Structure 1
Amino acid sequence: MLLLRRGTVSLRRSAAASLAAARCASSGSVGVTVPLNFWDGERRASQGKYTKDSVYEPATGRVLCHLEPCGAEDVDQAVKSAKLAFGHWSKLSGMDRARIMIEAAHIIESRREELAEMEVVNNGKSITEARLDVDSARLCIEYYAGLASTLAGQHVQLAGGSFAYTRREPLGVCAGIGAWNYPFQIAAWKSAPALACGNSMVFKPSPVTPVTAVMLAEVYAKAGAPEGLFNVVQGGQETGSFLCLHPDVAKVSFTGSVPTGKKIMELASKGSETSDSGAWWEISSAHIPR
């Protein structure tokens, strides 16, 4: 068993309190009782009466929390929140988006140890690897923040002195579906390029590692992102299906197994039939057993 610090901790509601509590996190001592869903700028409890699933701490096998899965109504609320934020975020200049993303990276850097220790409890990896994961997440956000102000179309010269030009336009609400092995890092990998390009996101972490993605949502909110820019919905296959089928989701980015990736492509294509913009997919395949 990897012991980080002694003591018992119960995570609280606010971003500051939850991250401060994580600073004292140790394997076998943390109990998460606050909601792990996040939209409209704050943590949210599921609106339906669904059976809560036990989430086990990998290092000890004890129950870490009881996960409230999101139903269709919850997913719809999260997507609506993201759609509203997209209207504002997409109109900002790339430089303005970059400033908020850089501030988020600074917050992650200042709380590196807190986030890493919570990732140990969440995922079971060593503290050394967890610190590297947090660093990678920060660097990813910094990298795409640097690209935000450089995104531009092309000037195309045509015959007879005419010309054409192209514009890069954000897609809208993007859905991210993460895996269990790099929970915080994958949330950053999926959100950073989407946000830099002017999109908003609804992210669903793996149901076996649900804790740290919502901490990233709180970081973005504290950095000054508009409410609803990055939202988190929890749950398993059913929640993922609601997200992929939602007509207002313009892109789905998934990391996980090949069979699940095929299913997600099928669902997203059905969702695009009722969407005005169609659907885009990004499947990152890995043979992940859970």
Structure 2
Amino acid sequence: MQSYEIRKMATPLCQPAASHFIDGTFMEDRTGPEILSVNPVDGEIIAKLHGATSCIIEKAIASAKRAQKEWARKGPAERGRVLSRAADIMRARNMELSVLETRDTGKPISETLVADAASGADCLEYFGAIAATLSGDSIQFGEDWVYTRREPLGVCLGIGAWNYPIQIAAWKAAPALACGNAMIFKPSEVTSLSALKLAEILTEAGLPPGAFNVVQGAGDVGAELATHPAIAKVSLTGSVKTGARVASAATAGIRPVTMELGGKSALIVFDDADVEAAVSGAILGNFYSAGQICSGLSGILCGGP
């Protein structure tokens, strides 16, 4: 019965108005390659989108550059209020966002309700709260002194992974926006839908149009964005192989990169451990989110004789 309810609720949510969200509105260019959003549970096609063309990318860059200047002129406290309002909207729509994420990723609704949009809202709230405290330092050198000031980088690029789409989008957007940057976000072509919802919510909360743009596409779109001269910073969540390619391309333009790359960890159980807790931790580490998390376990090492 629960599965039926999810289907009924999600159907009108899946096909977005257009593939991309640029300058505060949906935008389409059907000459881009088709992207199919497929429910992994049953193979149902739940949305059809198109990858970004160079024209779409240039529109996203132009609007982000323009919006970033407007956004940076706002006081840090005002920026923080916008992020806090976005967090409130996300929490109010948690069920809607969770149903969408469940259909797009195949994860159970019991997980998406507590771990996806909800944690994204927490991140927006956190950086909204500290935005006004991000200041420089004054440093005394005897009778001389120097001071530092924090200034936005400009237009940042976020590239997301498929396993936590809206969470990763919010995690990348929140600190960038709190500091007065604009962001262009490219979700995984496998799970491309919820980032568009986040863009709508940020705009509704008061973010200037263009300060958070979403463009769809595969690796070629990510590469074109990562090497664009207007991009000041690249942040990627993905595989080690993809991270190596993106980092190499991005640093060719002397731009900083942040990489959150897939990894595996071992669970070490000592001989004095609580066995029940160890078993519970092993099950959680191996099977939470079907094991598709950056801290998934690759082995269990037990102590003792």
| TM-score bucket of the superposed structures, by smaller chain | 0.7 to 0.9
8 Å CA contact 2:14–2:193 kept in 1: the answer is no
Partner of residue 148 from structure 1, selected from 122, 128, 131: 131
One-letter code of the match for 2:103? V
2:133 aligned counterpart, secondary structure: coil
Seen in structure 2, the aligned counterparts of structure 1 residues 150 and 49 have a Cα distance that, compared at 3 Å, is same
Residue segments in structure 1 that go unaligned for 5+ positions in a row: 9-23, 273-277
Partner of residue 116 from structure 1, selected from 98, 122, 126: 98
Identity among equivalent positions (%) equals 40
Deviations 1:48-72 (A, max 9, x none): 6133132211111011222200022
How do 1:172-211 residues align onto structure 2 when only pairs under 5 Å count? 172-211=154-193
Instruction: Determine whether 1:157 maps to 2:157.
Output: no
Cα distance between partner residues in 1 of 2:134 and 2:238: 29
Deviation at 1:31, TM superposition (A): 5.3
How do 1:2-21 residues align onto structure 2 when only pairs under 5 Å count? 3-5=3-5
Instruction: Determine whether 1:129 maps to 2:111.
Output: yes
8 Å CA contact 1:155–1:165 kept in 2: the answer is yes
2:222 aligned counterpart, secondary structure: helix
Instruction: Determine whether 1:32 maps to 2:15.
Output: yes
Instruction: Determine whether 1:44 maps to 2:27.
Output: yes
8 Å CA contact 1:83–1:200 kept in 2: the answer is yes
One-letter code of the match for 1:285? L
1:5 aligned counterpart, secondary structure: helix
Q: Which residue of 2 aligns with 1:167?
A: 149
Instruction: Determine whether 1:281 maps to 2:257.
Output: yes
Cα distance between partner residues in 2 of 1:31 and 1:101: 25
How do 1:247-266 residues align onto structure 2 when only pairs under 5 Å count? 247-266=229-248
Seen in structure 2, the aligned counterparts of structure 1 residues 193 and 4 have a Cα distance that, compared at 3 Å, is farther
Cα distance between partner residues in 2 of 1:178 and 1:142: 20
8 Å CA contact 2:187–2:216 kept in 1: the answer is yes
How do 1:30-109 residues align onto structure 2 when only pairs under 5 Å count? 32=15, 34-46=17-29, 49-109=31-91
Cα distance between partner residues in 1 of 2:14 and 2:80: 35
8 Å CA contact 1:241–1:264 kept in 2: the answer is yes
Q: Which residue of 2 aligns with 1:215?
A: 197
One-letter code of the match for 1:186? I
Partner of residue 238 from structure 1, selected from 204, 220, 229: 220
8 Å CA contact 2:6–2:99 kept in 1: the answer is no
8 Å CA contact 1:2–1:59 kept in 2: the answer is no
Deviation at 1:73, TM superposition (A): 1.7
Cα distance between partner residues in 1 of 2:102 and 2:245: 30
Seen in structure 2, the aligned counterparts of structure 1 residues 34 and 147 have a Cα distance that, compared at 3 Å, is same
8 Å CA contact 1:104–1:223 kept in 2: the answer is yes
Deviation at 1:35, TM superposition (A): 1.1
Deviates more, 1:135-144 or 1:31-40: 31-40
TM-score, scaled to structure 2: 0.82
Residue segments in structure 2 that go unaligned for 5+ positions in a row: 264-291, 294-305
One-letter code of the match for 2:59? Q
Cα distance between partner residues in 1 of 2:14 and 2:202: 24
Calculate the aligned-residue CA RMSD, in Å: 1.9
Seen in structure 2, the aligned counterparts of structure 1 residues 190 and 127 have a Cα distance that, compared at 3 Å, is same
Q: Which residue of 2 aligns with 1:19?
A: none
Deviations 1:90-113 (A, max 9, x none): 111110001111110111111111
2:134 aligned counterpart, secondary structure: coil
TM-score, scaled to structure 1: 0.86
1:198 aligned counterpart, secondary structure: coil
Deviation at 1:83, TM superposition (A): 0.9
Cα distance between partner residues in 2 of 1:252 and 1:49: 26
Matched residues, number:
264
One-letter code of the match for 1:90? A
Query: Which protein is bigger by CA-based radius of gyration?
Result: 2
Q: Which residue of 2 aligns with 1:13?
A: none
Q: Which residue of 2 aligns with 1:18?
A: none
Deviation at 1:147, TM superposition (A): 1.1
Deviation at 1:2, TM superposition (A): 6.3
Deviation at 1:206, TM superposition (A): 0.4
Deviation at 1:7, TM superposition (A): 6.5
